[in-house]
Amino acid sequence: MKATDEILRVWKRFDDFPMETLTKAWLHASGDRFKPRSVDLMREQREQYGTSGNCFDLALWLIDELRSEGIVCYPVGEKLGTEDAHGAVIALDKEGNRYLCDLGDQWIQPILVDPGAEGYTEAELPGFFPGARIAVFSDGVHAKIRYIRPNGKESRAVFDLKPAGEAEFREAAAHSQSLLSLPLVERRMKMCTTGRIVHWEYERGEAKISSDRGLFRESEPYGEDTWARRISRRSGIDETVVRMALDVYEAEGLI
């Protein structure tokens, strides 16, 4: 179910990238409320400020990187143009087998979604999603994903495997850029003591870590610690950018 080395080499360029909605709030504060970013600008701002972007930013960036290596790929989306929209990428290997690449949900690695391909299985698998085993059920048109947590709880998602129109996808990315729904930062991180990959998430004044041992809530900042400082330390985003973004969300009543 794992992607080919060619696809994985590109995917691993994003290992340290959080998925975050802070950059858009920071850009709103700078007057770029409705302006979607080019991939070149995303690279520039990451180099300078450690920012990355939301699921659409990361999908467009990944597509650009994959195509630069000659890998065929295309965007896929759910509920495009709405507040609940989500964007991801399908990458094809040399045999035409499709792999779901979802940086927005912070998958550890892409996964095979072609039911006729060698190696395809619907068994529960570790090592693809932080803090959960997953199981894929694909008919080649849609892929249903089960996320099985250590406590036995499950969640599900359905991905349409048909290509989204690239103009439509970019319009959805621009629409998403114009929305300030909630402050969110997610990052998959490798624990230095065990090598396990966990999922760290900040949302609306709370932070938690999901791992194969369960869900743990982080304590609130105290002393000289602040949410801006902690988020910066966890995500790699410049603390000034984080603070400005949180101020925007607070002014909008979203914290």
Q: Kindly state the DSSP code that residue 12 receives in the 8-state scheme.
A: G
Q: Kindly state the DSSP code that residue 119 receives in the 8-state scheme.
A: T
pLDDT value for 34: 61
pLDDT value for 215: 84
- 18-72 pLDDT per residue, tens: 999 999 999 988 776 666 789 999 999 999 999 999 999 999 999 999 999 999 9
What is the C-alpha to C-alpha distance for residues 172 and 224, in angstroms, rounded to an integer?
Answer: 40
What is the C-alpha to C-alpha distance for residues 164 and 79, in angstroms, rounded to an integer?
Answer: 11
What is the C-alpha to C-alpha distance for residues 242 and 46, in angstroms, rounded to an integer?
Answer: 13
Contact yes or no for 134/124 (Cβ under 8 A): yes
> Alpha helix (H) ranges present in 34-165?
39-49, 55-68
Residues 6+ apart with CB under 8 A from 9: 69
pLDDT surpassing 80 at residue 192 = no
Contact yes or no for 3/97 (Cβ under 8 A): no
What is the C-alpha to C-alpha distance for residues 143 and 137, in angstroms, rounded to an integer?
Answer: 6
Q: Kindly state the DSSP code that residue 14 receives in the 8-state scheme.
A: G
Q: What is the mean pLDDT of residues 124-145?
A: 94
Question: Which CATH fold would you assign to the domain 5-176?
Answer: Arylamine N-acetyltransferase fold (3.30.2140)
What is the C-alpha to C-alpha distance for residues 118 and 149, in angstroms, rounded to an integer?
Answer: 27
pLDDT value for 31: 74
pLDDT surpassing 70 at residue 123 = yes
Q: List the helix and strand counts (H, then E) for the chain.
A: 7, 13
At residue 57, the 3 state secondary structure works out as: helix
pTM for the structure as a whole: 0.93
Residue ranges covered by each domain of the chain = 5-176, 181-251
Amino acid identity of 157? A
pLDDT surpassing 90 at residue 255 = no
